[in-house]
A and B are shown apart, each in its own frame.
Chain A
């Protein structure tokens, strides 16, 4: 593989890994904070799935770069080097906000992984085949809760609608791509992510409809930035917390 395509592949793998790491980090914050014990466990479980996926992807990135460890990518990069979609780094908010984010992201991940299973890169297609099983469960969990909250009580309906509306402006950024990534699409390695948008909209719309919720206006202005190193302020705190021990005691094994 040429240097260029290797760099493109690395960028793509890190994009997927960063999404998983940061969303997993946010979900793990629900530990001991869930609305009841069963949900506390369910959210930790999903966080653990994301963490497992992160490790597969970072390990792969390490081989592409010739011997870097999975921990290098989580603990030795600075915040501007993370390429996760903006929606994954937003604070959890109330339960409705976390569920809305899970719905938006899980529909996206499900579509992405379905395409990635066809990748000509065996490691990526293998990763996708494993991850899609987990994502199917995440999507079911998010869908079930969207229905419960949307069609539950007056209060839960309002909270859920507000969450859906608040987060909608961050959904477009999930589909952002780069020139390097386009070269991988042409080579049959990466899916054409922006092309997934139509199916995503259709699926989200159908869940929201069943939940008696209103799909936000498609013309809503969309925040972008995750592919151009423009994060929200929130990423800094995530990274500070995550890397505190390893930065305070550099060069140690844990």
Chain B
């Protein structure tokens, strides 16, 4: 503290060390800011792109009750996107720029949403497995070091656990139902299991961003730790449904106190990340198309707001 200057970096590190939140006005290393923008925007985009596979079933939902649950869920996901865009904007980047980055491919979204929702049971599997995997990640992120991100996670987690329960309940109905319904559920399980495990990202040793993120407490647990947690809590749930997890190597390991599981197909994962998943093009092109086709609506809203602001100012002067 000589010369009355504050060493901002020390203050920052001190806060991280003491598990105090970093707030938007605090000094932060440029790389911390960049890492956060990358992670939060990826998270926001995932919420929004994730509306597509589920939205694809709203008009075909087989009961009014399920339709209402699905609509409300997708609406929640849109809301999550909004909180997260806002959290990201506190880091000095605009929503417009974030969307531009999504459209150019500079920003990513979760690879899981590049898989198609093909049958009605997929809506259950997405809620149970995809929201389930997201919860494991997000519960951990409630303790992330950036204040606005942490607070967004707290709000979001409450809703995600509803989604998971509702997804599970949908599958339970199918598994207690006819042969065809059960087959539908197993088919969904077969297609969503491995991509759900991939949601946690590469193994720690191969993860490009993990070390810094852990050091700065942006991430509190590693990809592998979170993945293991998810598997450990999901196996019994699958058994209760009477569904088979499509992994012959899945086995309880008494010594580790965890389930062992088979090798994840990282070649598939890397290809989906690179844009070769079944729906990458479809999802992104859809977002771009809708955004561009509706530009005139946003322009009109801005023009109208500007007119009203001008009129209000004029009235004040007069």
Query: Which A residues are closer than 8 A to B by beta carbons?
Result: 25, 28-29, 31-41, 44-45, 47-48, 51-52, 54-55, 58, 70-71, 74-75, 94-95, 147-149, 151-153, 155-156, 159, 238, 241-242, 244-246, 249, 251-254
* 3 shortest interchain CB distances as A-B pairs: A152-B300, A156-B300, A35-B294
> Which chain B residues in 176-223 approach chain A with CB under 8 Å?
177-178, 180-181
CB of A147 within 8 A of CB of B78, answer no
- Say which size band chain B's interface belongs to: 35 or more
Question: Are B75 and A242 touching (Cβ within 8 A)?
Answer: no
- B64 CB within 8 Å of chain A: yes
Q: Which residues of A contact B61 (CB under 8 A)?
A: 245
Q: Would you mind naming 10 contact pairs between A and B with Cβ atoms under 8 Å apart?
A: A32-B74, A37-B48, A37-B81, A38-B82, A51-B71, A58-B64, A75-B62, A245-B120, A254-B66, A254-B173
A48 to B85, CA, bound (A): 24
B63 near A254 with CB under 8 A, answer yes
Is the Cβ of B62 less than 8 Å from the Cβ of A25? no
Q: How many A-B residue pairs have CB under 8 A?
A: 126
Shortest Cβ distance from A250 into B: residue: B178
With contact pairs A40-B51, A74-B64 given, residues A159 and B296 touching in the complex (Cβ less than 8 Å): yes
Q: Which residue from B75, B297, B304 sits with its C-beta under 8 Å from A45?
A: B75
Kindly report which residue of chain B lies nearest to residue A151, judged by CB atoms. B304
**B60 interface contact, C-beta 8 A:** yes
> Which residues from 40 to 62 on chain B have a C-beta closer than 8 Å to any C-beta of chain A?
48, 51-52, 55, 58-62
Q: Which of A45, A75, A152, A159 has the most CB of B within 10 A?
A: A152
A29 to chain B, nearest CB (A): 7
What residues of chain A lie closer than 8 Å to B52, measured between beta carbons?
A: 32
CB of B52, distance to nearest CB on chain A (Å)? 5
Q: Which residues of chain A are within 8 angstroms of B85 by Cβ–Cβ distance?
A: 37
Q: In the complex, which residue of chain A has the Cβ closest to the Cβ of B120? A: A245
Is the beta-carbon distance between A28 and B290 smaller than 8 angstroms? no
Chain B contact residues, majority secondary structure: helix
Q: Does B281 contact A (CB under 8 A)?
A: no
- Minimum C-beta distance from B288 to chain A (A): 13
Known: A33-B290, A35-B297, A48-B71. A28 touches B58 (CB 8 A): yes
Consensus secondary structure, chain A interface:
helix
Instruction: Determine the chain A residues whose CB is within 8 A of the CB of B181 once the complex forms.
Output: 249, 252
Q: Find the B residue at minimum CB distance from A238.
A: B59
- Could you tell me if A54 and B64 are in contact, using CB atoms closer than 8 angstroms? yes
For A36, A52, A58, which residue has the most chain B Cβ atoms within 10 angstroms? Answer: A36
- Does chain A have a CB within 8 A of B79? yes
Q: Are B298 and A35 in contact (CB under 8 A)?
A: yes
Residues on the A chain within 8 Å of B293, using CB: 94
A41 touches B59 (CB 8 A): no
CB distance from A152 to the nearest CB of B (A): 3
| Complex: chain B residue closest to A156, CB-CB | B300
CB of B312 within 8 Å of the partner chain: no
Closest to B78 in A: A41
Q: Is the beta-carbon distance between A44 and B304 smaller than 8 angstroms? A: no
- Interface: B299 (CB within 8 A): yes
Q: Which residues of A contact B264 (CB under 8 A)?
A: none
